[in-house]
Chains A and B, each alone.
Chain A
Amino acid sequence: MALRLARLLPCSARRGKIPASYATNDSGVLMEQERFESWLKNIYQTQDEEISCTECFDLVSHYVELEVSGENAAMKMPRLKQHLDQCRACRDEYEILRGLARWENEGGTPSLDELKDLIG
């Protein structure tokens, strides 16, 4: 179900300016209810003080290794967890870093040639 929240200047993929996955329809922006619910949660989880992206970058390798070693990283580093919940850019990087660390931990990382072959 689409929750129609805002009507902006119309823009569409047909004008060739936006990748299709980001296109709006001609009447405006649609935010799916699930995404709105997620955004509402983020609003309510806002803290007065939150760490910055620089601080997150500084700490995320330690956070990832706590997780990979089976420790409760979110409990030990709650402010970092909170930033990751709020910041899509940092969260995307964290998820890839965690994937790399898990792979290494399990000893099954692919070779460079295998990774290159997977591309395009």
Chain B
Amino acid sequence: MLLMSNTRTNEEWLHDLRATGEVQESATTDLRTFLLRAVLYSFNRNLGDFGGLAHDEILQMAEDCTQDALIAVINHLSDFRGDSKFTTWAYKFAVNIALVTARRQRWKGVSLDQLSFTDDSNLFEWMVQDKSPGHAPDQSAMQGEVGEIIREVIERDLTEKQRQILIMMVFNEVPMDEVVGRLSTNRNAIYKMLHDARRKLKSGLQAHGFEVGETLALFSTQG
């Protein structure tokens, strides 16, 4: 069952991949095997993203991802600092590429237009939680107040782009890499926009006296 042991030290990996001839060829072949394993492992944990694809098609995508990962690793060899095993460091390129590919497959052909509400606050209605038996009236009222504050911040304080991305990713759970691809941007930019949105939401809640402990208790699903 054991695939292969990593017989190279970190230094040997770097040396062999930077060498020439058979030494480099052997290291590249071995690295490729490690990366393919990481890609297949990643795909296995996200098989739902490949619904409708034949087994051979998925395997071909795995091979393509592996090739892309190999190129990425070779191009970033100088970034390796030795604070992990070389294979662990290399795996993350394969995992990243594999997951981006899986998400892209799942969302292929899906229009995000109707998931990226950007404007017209009259289309943005908030409703409070259903008042079920057992809920104290003041608890429901406070929940409603929290919801109102959040609505206000989203409508009034976020930029249009922040609002668009927040609604796509938080409410509609569109994966980040889909948003990146559709908006022709990058992960860091998206993360920063979400971060800025969270900061404004946090400030808004705290400005109205809703601190963390009591607010989380209002909505706790733990009872």
A binding-site residues for B, Cβ under 8 Å: 1-11, 17-19, 22, 24, 28-29, 31, 33-34, 36-37, 39-44, 46, 48, 50, 52-54, 57-58, 60-62, 64-65, 86-89, 92-93, 96-97, 99-101, 104, 107-112, 114-116, 118-120
Interface residue total, chain B, C-beta cutoff 8 A: 79
**Can you identify 18 A-B contacts, CB atoms within 8 angstroms?**
A4-B127, A6-B171, A8-B171, A9-B117, A11-B115, A17-B109, A22-B172, A34-B221, A43-B201, A44-B215, A52-B187, A61-B89, A88-B176, A97-B95, A101-B88, A108-B1, A109-B2, A119-B59
Shortest distance from the beta carbon of B162 to any chain A beta carbon, whole Å: 13
B123 touches A97 (CB 8 A): no
Within the assembled complex, what's the spacing in Å between the Cα atoms of A10 and B79? 47
Chain A residues in 8 Å Cβ range of B7: none
A93 touches B176 (CB 8 A): no
Within the assembled complex, what's the spacing in Å between the Cα atoms of A9 and B117? 7
Nearest CB to that of A11 among chain B residues? B114
A97 touches B91 (CB 8 A): yes
Shortest distance from the beta carbon of A46 to any chain B beta carbon, whole Å: 4
Number of A-B contacts (CB under 8 A): 199
Task: Identify which of residues 65-101 in chain B touch chain A, using a CB-to-CB cut-off of 8 Å.
Answer: 79, 83-85, 87-89, 91-92, 95-96, 99
A99 touches B171 (CB 8 A): no
Chain B residues in 8 Å Cβ range of A92: 99
B binding-site residues for A, Cβ under 8 Å: 1-3, 6, 33, 36-38, 40-45, 47, 50, 53-55, 58-59, 62, 79, 83-85, 87-89, 91-92, 95-96, 99, 106-107, 109-111, 114-115, 117, 123-127, 129-130, 132, 147, 150-151, 167, 170-177, 187-188, 191-192, 194-195, 198-199, 201-202, 205, 212, 215-216, 219-221
